Amino acid sequence: MFIEFNKKEFYTTKDLALSIIGGKWKIPVIFHLLPDINQRMLIRQLRELERDRVIERVVYQKMPPKVEYKLTDIGKRLDNVVYAICDLCDEFLEDLSK
């Protein structure tokens, strides 16, 4: 299988998925939508998530300007993945403490 997405080439859907949710803050952004990170990194990760159609940016034309982000249908379907990763890490930490 060969997949082209956002001007990149992927050999499997797993490669594509890791590209979309990879990045230090993407999982926390999806999980909390706005984690405690610096503004530059937040904007970069939000733009990547928007480009990958995981989140949608809503701009309100008023003063002061207002922008909101929400999960798309694709982003909402990632909840099982995000919770599974969190559960795995919880179990990992529990095993380490034994």
- More confident site: 58 or 21: 58
Composition of the chain by helix, strand, coil, percent to 5: 55, 20, 30
* Best-predicted range by mean pLDDT (63-67, 82-86, 91-95): 63-67
Handedness of CA 68, 71, 57, 30 (dihedral sign): positive
Interval 63-85 mean pLDDT: 85
pLDDT tens readout for residues 22-70: 777 777 766 666 556 677 877 888 898 898 898 999 999 888 888 888 8
| Rg, C-alpha atoms of the chain | 16
The CATH number linked to 44 is: 1.10.10.10
**Total of domains in the chain:** 1
pTM of structure: 0.55
Q: What is the mean pLDDT of the chain?
A: 79
| Domain that residue 62 falls in | 3-96
